[in-house]
Structure 1
Amino acid sequence: MDATTLSANFEARERATAELRSLTEEFAGKEMDAESRGKEAKLLDAIADYDGRIKRGIEVLKSGESVSALIQGLNGTGSKKETQDKLAEAAAQLRSLGVNQSVAFAPESRAGIDTKSNPGNTVIARTLYGRLLAEAVERSTVMRGGATILTTSSGEPMDFTVVVGRAQASIVNEGGNIPESNPTTVQRSVGAFKYGYASTVSSEFVQDQALDLVGFLVGDAGPAIGAGMGAHFLTGSGTNQPKGIITAGSPAAATFTATAKDAAVSDALIDLYYELPSSYRAGAAFVVSDKVAAQMRKLKDGQGQYLWQSSVQVGAPDTFNGRPVLTDVGVPDDKVTFGDLSKYTVRLAGPLRVERSVDLKFLSDQIVYRFLQRADGLLVDERAVKVLTVGGGETAK
C-alpha cells in the first residue's frame, strides 16, 4: 500500500466516524429503530475494516528503525547514509557467510569482523539488530504496549524481587514506637528460553545482489520470532516457557457474561478500571481479543454516546474510558486485561544468532537460514495488572 492509498483509507475512515457520530447524536437517549441499528452495525464494521487497512499500510511504509525510542536507542543516531552503509555491509556479510557458519545480531556497537578471516565470530552492525527487533516488537502486544525490554550478554538466571503488596505508613504518637510495615514480595527469576525459526531461500536469491537479502530475512524472521515470544508474554504458563502477563496478573473481583447487555458489561469494565491502584492507571491499557473489543466498541452511556473513542491519529490506539485498547489474537475471549504493561520485563539473552546451511536442502539447491534467540519474561509488580473474567469465576494465578 502506498502513501496515497493509506491517506485515502484514513479519510474514508474519518467520514465513516463522522457519520456514526451524527447517527449516535440523533438517537441520544432513545432507542434506535431497526434500520438505524443496521446502519450503525455497517458503520462499525466499516471503521474496523479501515483500521485494519491503515495498520497494514503503516507496517508496509514505516521504517523499522522508527518503531520506538527503544529501537532508535539500539540503532544509534547516525545519519541515513551511515545506516544504509551499515545495512549494505551486513548484507555483504550474510551473502559471504560460509557453509554452516554463523553470525550474531547484537544490540551493542562493535566493529564488524571479516567472516572469511574469522569465520563464525562476526557481529553484524547494530542497525540490523534494531530492524529485526522492531519487527518482533510489532508482533508482540506486550512489547509494543510498553514492556520493559532488558538485553543481557548471556542467559544465566536473574533474580527479581516481585512486589505483590505495598508497605503502609500510619500515624505515630509522640514518643510512641514506629510500627513496621514492609512490602509483600516474593523472589522470582527469569532465565532464557530458546526460540528458533528457519527460513529457506534459493541460492539464486542469495547470489543476486539486486535483491534485498537483509530486508527479506528480517521481514521473515522478525514477525515469526515476535509472534512466538508474544504469545507466551501474554498467556505463558511459566512452566518451560515465560509466565505471561495475563497468567501473572491479579484476578479482578467483577465478572460479566458474554451475553450481558451494555449496563452489565460497562459496569464490570468500570469496576475493573478502579480495581487497579490509582498509581498504575495513568499508564495502563486494556488488552483484549478482537471478539471482546467488538463488544466493548458497541457500549454506550446513558445518553447513547459510545464509551469507545476511535483514534483520530494514524497509528495511535483507540481508547475505552480514556485508556488505550490493544487487541491480540492470543488473548482468550474470556479475559479482559487492564494494567501497566511497563511492569512486565522482557529479557533478551545474548545475541540473535543467524546460521546458514546448504545441507538440508542440498538436492533442491536451496539455502536454510536459522534464527535463534533466547528470551524470557516476568511481571515484576503483580499489583500493576488486573484480569477480568468473562463468564464468571476468578482467574487462577
Structure 2
Amino acid sequence: MDYAIADTAPEHKAGIASREAEHELRATFEDFKSANDERLAELERRHGDVLLEEKVDRINAALDAQQRRLDELALRQARPQLDGRVRPSNDTARREHKSAFEAYVRAGDAAPLRALESKAMSIGSNPDGGYLVPVELEHSISERLAAISPIRSISAVREISGSVYKKPFMTAGPATGWVGETDARAQTASPTLDALSFPAMELYAMPAATATLLDDSAVDLDQWIASEVELVFAVQEGAAFVAGDGVNQPKGFLSYTTVANGSWSWGNLGTIASGAAGGFAASNPSDVLVDLIYALKAGYRQNGAFVMNRKTQAAIRKFKDSTGAYLWQPPAQAGGRATLMTFPLVEAEDMPDIAANSLAVAFGDFRRGYLIVDRVGVRVLRDPYSAKPYVLFYTTKRVGGGVQDFDAIKLLKFAAS
C-alpha cells in the first residue's frame, strides 16, 4: 500500500489526504457528540463531572485541529498551477512581458519593461512606482487571496481601473399602485438613491531575496513572489474587511453604526440581542440563532452564511435542536464548509470573541451585502539598496471594501437586550 501511494500523482495523493482528513473529522465529531451528550446528562442530574468536561473540551479542540487541517488541504488543492500551460489568446505579448519582467526581477534590467509599457501607453508604471506584474501572476495572487481570505470568498468582488468605485443604490423604489383600465394615473414618486463610494487603498508587502536565489534559473520567480505576498495580503485584508476603520484601508462591516433590528434604517446594520450579557441565554440558547436567521428578508436568507471565529464556533457546536440533533455539522465533502442550521459557516479569526456587547456572530448574504474592489494591476519595485546584500521587492496592490446593502447583513450582539 505504501508503495502504491508513493507512485501516485501529487494531486491524487492530495485527494486521498483530503478524504482521510474528512473521515477523521466525522469520526471525531461522533466522539464529540457522544461525550457532550454524556456531559449534558450529568448536568441534568445536577452534578457535573469535571473529567467529562475536560474530555469534551479536548475533543472540541481536536475537531478544531482537524477542521484546520481539512481547510489547509482544500487550500492547497485550490492553488492554481503557474506552469504556463493555459495561456490567454494574445500569447506572444504576454510571453514578452513575462520575459521582460523576469529580467527586471533577476537583474534589475528595466529597459525591456519600459519599452513595453511605453508601447502600451501605460501610465503610473515607472522606476519610482514599480512595474506591473504579468497578468498570470496578478490573477494567481487574486485567486489565492479568494481561497485564503474568508470574507473575500463570500463577498462580491469587482475589478476597477480607477482609484474610486462609485455605485448608486436604490434604497426605495418608485411608487406604484393598482388602477382601473380607464382610471387616471397619478404621477408616481421618484425612486430614492444613495451614492456609495468605495476607494481603493494601497496594500503592500516587501519580500526579500538573496542574490543566489535570483541567480538560480530553476526558481520560478512568479511563483516565489506570489507565495511570499499571498499570506500577508490575505491577513491584512481579512482584518480590514471585518473591522477596518476605512482610513487608508477598507471599511469593515463591524465598523458601521449598529442599531437594534427593530429600529433598523438604511446606513446602519441591525443587531439581535443574545439574551445575556457576554453569553447566550441560560435556557434555549440556540433560539437566538433562529431569530438572527429570520431577521433577514427571504431574498437574502436563501444565500445566507454565518461568520464567526473558532472560539465562538466551539461554543455553538454544543447546541442541539428539540429533537436532539446537533445544529453544527461537519463539511459534507472535502473542500466544503461546515454548516450551522443548514447554512454555511465561514470561519474568520478576525471576528471578536464572545464578550459583553461584542458582535461575535454575523449572518447574511455577503455577496449582496459587502463589496470588495480590486484595482487592476499589481506592481513590483525592485530595491537592491535598502537592505544589502538582500534585494527587496516592494509589491503593492490597491484594494477597497465596504457595505453596499445594509439590509443584507445582521449581527448577533451579546447583550441582555
TM-score tier (shorter) = 0.7 to 0.9
Given that residues 100 and 358 in structure 1 are in contact (C-alpha distance below 8 angstroms), is that contact kept between their aligned partners in structure 2? Answer: no
* 1:349 counterpart (354, 375, 378): 375
User: How far is the alpha carbon of 1:42 from its aligned partner?
Assistant: 3.6
Given that residues 286 and 323 in structure 1 are in contact (C-alpha distance below 8 angstroms), is that contact kept between their aligned partners in structure 2? Answer: yes
Q: 1:1-53 CA deviation, whole Å, 9 max, x = no partner?
A: 96354443332222223444566789999948747655544433322211111
Instruction: Provide closer, same or farther for how the CA distance between residues 102 and 122 of structure 1 changes in structure 2, counting only shifts above 3 A.
Output: farther
Instruction: Provide closer, same or farther for how the CA distance between residues 119 and 244 of structure 1 changes in structure 2, counting only shifts above 3 A.
Output: closer
User: How far is the alpha carbon of 1:358 from its aligned partner?
Assistant: 0.5
Structure 1 residue 48 and structure 2 residue 81: aligned?
Answer: no
Structure 1 residue 17 and structure 2 residue 29: aligned?
Answer: yes
Given that residues 101 and 133 in structure 2 are in contact (C-alpha distance below 8 angstroms), is that contact kept between their aligned partners in structure 1? Answer: no
**Paired AA for residue 52 in structure 1:** R
Given that residues 233 and 245 in structure 1 are in contact (C-alpha distance below 8 angstroms), is that contact kept between their aligned partners in structure 2? Answer: yes
Aligned position for 1:64: 80
**Paired AA for residue 159 in structure 1:** K
Aligned position for 1:314: 334
Structure 1 residue 283 and structure 2 residue 303: aligned?
Answer: yes
User: How far is the alpha carbon of 1:339 from its aligned partner?
Assistant: 1.1
1:231-246 matched pairs, under 5 angstroms = 231-246=239-254
Gaps of 5+ in 2: 1-9, 257-267
**Paired AA for residue 213 in structure 1:** L
Instruction: Provide closer, same or farther for how the CA distance between residues 280 and 179 of structure 1 changes in structure 2, counting only shifts above 3 A.
Output: farther
Q: Distance in 2 between matches of 1:209 and 1:23?
A: 56
Q: 1:233-283 CA deviation, whole Å, 9 max, x = no partner?
A: 222223443222233461224334333346453122111111111100111
Given that residues 29 and 302 in structure 1 are in contact (C-alpha distance below 8 angstroms), is that contact kept between their aligned partners in structure 2? Answer: no
Gaps of 5+ in 1: 67-74, 105-109
Q: Distance in 1 between matches of 2:112 and 2:231?
A: 21
**Structure 2 counterpart SS, 1:150:** strand
Structure 1 residue 158 and structure 2 residue 165: aligned?
Answer: yes
**Structure 2 counterpart SS, 1:265:** coil
User: How many aligned residue pairs are there?
Assistant: 367
**Structure 2 counterpart SS, 1:270:** helix
Q: Distance in 2 between matches of 1:356 and 1:9?
A: 41
Aligned position for 1:304: 324
Instruction: Provide closer, same or farther for how the CA distance between residues 316 and 269 of structure 1 changes in structure 2, counting only shifts above 3 A.
Output: same
User: How far is the alpha carbon of 1:90 from its aligned partner?
Assistant: 7.8
**Paired AA for residue 399 in structure 2:** A
Structure 1 residue 254 and structure 2 residue 273: aligned?
Answer: yes
User: How far is the alpha carbon of 1:320 from its aligned partner?
Assistant: 1.0
Q: Distance in 2 between matches of 1:230 and 1:172?
A: 51
Given that residues 90 and 125 in structure 1 are in contact (C-alpha distance below 8 angstroms), is that contact kept between their aligned partners in structure 2? Answer: no
**Paired AA for residue 372 in structure 2:** V
**Paired AA for residue 339 in structure 2:** T
Given that residues 90 and 128 in structure 1 are in contact (C-alpha distance below 8 angstroms), is that contact kept between their aligned partners in structure 2? Answer: no
TM superposition score normalised by structure 2: 0.75
Given that residues 256 and 391 in structure 1 are in contact (C-alpha distance below 8 angstroms), is that contact kept between their aligned partners in structure 2? Answer: yes
Instruction: Provide closer, same or farther for how the CA distance between residues 235 and 301 of structure 1 changes in structure 2, counting only shifts above 3 A.
Output: same
- Greater shift in the superposed pair: 337-346 or 246-255: 246-255
Residue identity over aligned pairs, in percent, reads 21
Instruction: Provide closer, same or farther for how the CA distance between residues 103 and 346 of structure 1 changes in structure 2, counting only shifts above 3 A.
Output: farther
* 2:362 counterpart (323, 333, 337): 337
**Structure 1 counterpart SS, 2:279:** coil
Instruction: Provide closer, same or farther for how the CA distance between residues 264 and 94 of structure 1 changes in structure 2, counting only shifts above 3 A.
Output: farther
**Structure 2 counterpart SS, 1:353:** strand
Given that residues 159 and 188 in structure 1 are in contact (C-alpha distance below 8 angstroms), is that contact kept between their aligned partners in structure 2? Answer: yes
TM superposition score normalised by structure 1: 0.78
Q: Distance in 1 between matches of 2:328 and 2:145?
A: 28
**Paired AA for residue 296 in structure 2:** L
Aligned position for 2:346: 326
Given that residues 103 and 355 in structure 1 are in contact (C-alpha distance below 8 angstroms), is that contact kept between their aligned partners in structure 2? Answer: no
**Paired AA for residue 276 in structure 1:** L
**Structure 2 counterpart SS, 1:382:** coil
- Greater shift in the superposed pair: 46-55 or 9-18: 9-18
User: How far is the alpha carbon of 1:210 from its aligned partner?
Assistant: 2.2
* 2:237 counterpart (229, 234, 238): 229
Larger radius of gyration: 2
Aligned position for 1:70: none
Instruction: Provide closer, same or farther for how the CA distance between residues 202 and 326 of structure 1 changes in structure 2, counting only shifts above 3 A.
Output: same
Q: Distance in 1 between matches of 2:23 and 2:99?
A: 40
Q: Distance in 1 between matches of 2:152 and 2:200?
A: 17
Aligned position for 2:220: 212
* 1:191 counterpart (195, 199, 212): 199
Aligned position for 1:143: 152
Q: Distance in 2 between matches of 1:246 and 1:172?
A: 44
Aligned position for 1:107: none
Instruction: Provide closer, same or farther for how the CA distance between residues 169 and 196 of structure 1 changes in structure 2, counting only shifts above 3 A.
Output: same
Q: Distance in 2 between matches of 1:126 and 1:292?
A: 39
Q: 1:175-211 CA deviation, whole Å, 9 max, x = no partner?
A: 3655846654422212221111111111111111223
Q: Distance in 2 between matches of 1:62 and 1:91?
A: 26
Given that residues 279 and 414 in structure 2 are in contact (C-alpha distance below 8 angstroms), is that contact kept between their aligned partners in structure 1? Answer: no
1:168-179 matched pairs, under 5 angstroms = 169-172=176-179, 175=183
